[in-house]
Amino acid sequence: MATTWTKSVHRTNSGSISAAIKRALDYQKNEGKTRDGELIAAYACEPLTAESEFLLSKRLYEQRTGRNQGEHDVIGYQIRQSFKAGEVTPEEALRIGYELAMRWTRGHHQFVVAAHINTDNPHTHIFFNSVTLDHSRKFQDFKHSAIALRRVSDKLCIENGLSIIEKPGLSKGYNRTEYLGDHKPPTGRDNLRRMIDDSLIVGRSFPEFLVALRKAGCEIKIGKQYSIKPPGSKKFFRFDTLGEEYSYDAIKERLSGTRSAVMRSAADDSAEQKTAAYAASRNAPSLLIDIEKKMADGKGGGYSHWATLFNLQQMSKTLLFIKEKGIDSYEELCEKADAVSAEYSARNERRKELKTRMDEITELQKQIATYGKTRDVYLRYKASGFDQAFFDVHAADIILHRAAKKHFDLLGKMKLPSINQLKQEWAALNAEKKTVSANFKERRTEMIEYLTARNNAERILFGKRTPPQIEQNRDAR
C-alpha cells in the first residue's frame, strides 16, 4: 500500500542553489537510515558527487539558454514513496523507488534514490534535477501532477503484487512535523539524544565524542556508568537510560561504523539474500508470482492477466540463465546454487570478522596515544588532590585520560601491545580484507540469480509438489 508525496525545492529554501541541493541530498543519504549507504542508488550521476553534478548541470543550462530565475528558480523535486509495513524489503523499496523515478522523469533527469529504514514501513526518498540531461530545458510541473504521480506509483505496486489505496484522500500539503513522525514537542531526553547523534561521527574515538559533548555544553560524569547532563537540565542521565541505541556499547559501535541508528535484524539479512538488489542485471530472472495466492488475497482479473505474462517472461529468462551457465539438470542447478551461496556467506562472515578486529585495533591505537599524551596532566591533577579549579582548566585532557583508562580496563589487558605491533596486525588484516572483498557485490548478485533460478525451476518443474531431493531428505530422517 504505497503512498506518494512530491514537493518542489527552491533556492529560497536555503539561500543558495548549492545549499538547497546539499540539504536535500544529505537528508536522503543519511547513513543511519540507509544501512551505511547500502540503500542508495542514482541515475546519470554518482551519489557521492551528486551535489556537484547537479550544480554543474544547472550552470550549463544557464549558459546554453541564458535563463536565470534567481531566487524563484526551482532547482529540483523531491518525491517520497512509502509502503505498507511488512509488504516490501528495503531492497525492494529501493528498486521500486528507482523504477518510479525513471518512469516519472522518463530518463531525462539526474536523480538520487534512497530507501530509509528508520521507521516500521520502508520508504524511499527521490530527488531529481529540474534540468534535463542535455541542459536544454527544465522539468515542467503541471496541475494535479501529484495525482499523476500517484497513478504511476499505483501501477508499479500492482506490477509488483503490492496493495494500493483504493480511495486516497486529498493531500493538504507538506507538513514537516508529520513528515518526520514527530507528533508532539521533543522532550528533554529527545533533545539529549539529538545532541548525542550530532556528536556521533564515524571514526571519532569515544573520548573525542565525550569532549564534543562537553563543548556543546554538556557535563560528563565518569563512574561505573557514563552519565551526562545537558545544558539547562538539573540532573544527569545515564547513557543506557536513553534507549538501546545510546548504551555505551551501542555508541562505541556507532562510532566505529559497525552499527547504525536503526539496527539491522536477522530478517533483513535473510531478505537481502533472497531479494534481487537494485544493482542486479535487468536481464536476470525474478521470482515467479504465486497467482492463486494473490487472487485469493483479492486481486482482480487484470492483475491475473498481467501476472501470467510476467511469469512467462521470467520462465524464459530463467531458462536462458540456466543455458548460459551450461547447467544440464535440476540437481546440478541446486548444487551450483548451494555452492555459490555457501561461498558468499563464508566471505561475508570473514569480511565482518576482519572489519570488527580492524576497528578494535584502530580504537586501541587511539586510546594508547591519548593515554600517553594526557598522562602528565592527569598525574598533576591527581597530585593536586583532584582540585576542581585544576579540572576546569584541563577538563578535556582529564576526560580523555579517564576514558582511555576505562577502555583498557574493559579489555582486561594486563600488558598492552605496542603501536608498531598493532600497525602490523592491522596491515595484515587489511590485505586479507581486500582479497575477501574483491568482486563482493558481483558475487552477491550471482548468488541471488542462482537462488532465484532454482526457485523458479522448482515452480516450473514441480509446481506445488515437493522437489525430489527434499522428499529424499525426509525419507532419510
pLDDT value at 260 more than 60: no
Strand order in the sheet with 226-229: 219-222, 226-229, 237-238
Task: Label residue 171 by pLDDT band (50, 70, 90).
Answer: very low
Instruction: Tell me the fold of 3-172.
Output: BirA Bifunctional Protein; domain 2 (3.30.930)
Task: Label residue 176 by pLDDT band (50, 70, 90).
Answer: very low
Closest residue by Cα to residue 124 from 278, 303, 280: 278
pLDDT tens digits, one per residue of 180-201: 443 345 677 877 888 888 787 7
Closest residue by Cα to residue 230 from 210, 253, 241, 214: 214
Task: Label residue 114 by pLDDT band (50, 70, 90).
Answer: very high
Cβ(126)–Cβ(111) below 8 Å: yes
Task: Label residue 175 by pLDDT band (50, 70, 90).
Answer: very low
Return the pLDDT at 96.
92
Of how many residues is the chain composed? 477
Q: Please indicate whether residue 261 or residue 113 has the higher confidence score (pLDDT).
A: 113
> In one letter, which amino acid is 476?
A
Grid cell in block for residue 43 = 541515475
Cβ(150)–Cβ(103) below 8 Å: no
Q: Please indicate whether residue 56 or residue 181 has the higher confidence score (pLDDT).
A: 56
pTM, two decimal places: 0.39
pLDDT tens digits, one per residue of 355-385: 889 988 888 888 888 888 999 999 999 999 9
Per the prediction, the chain carries an average pLDDT of 78
What are the boundaries of each domain within the chain?
3-172, 188-256, 267-324+441-476, 343-438
Distance CA 130, CA 96 (A): 21
pLDDT value at 328 more than 90: no
Grid cell in block for residue 302 = 487484470
Burial class of 323 by CB neighbour count within 10 A (0 to 12, 13 to 18, 19+) = exposed
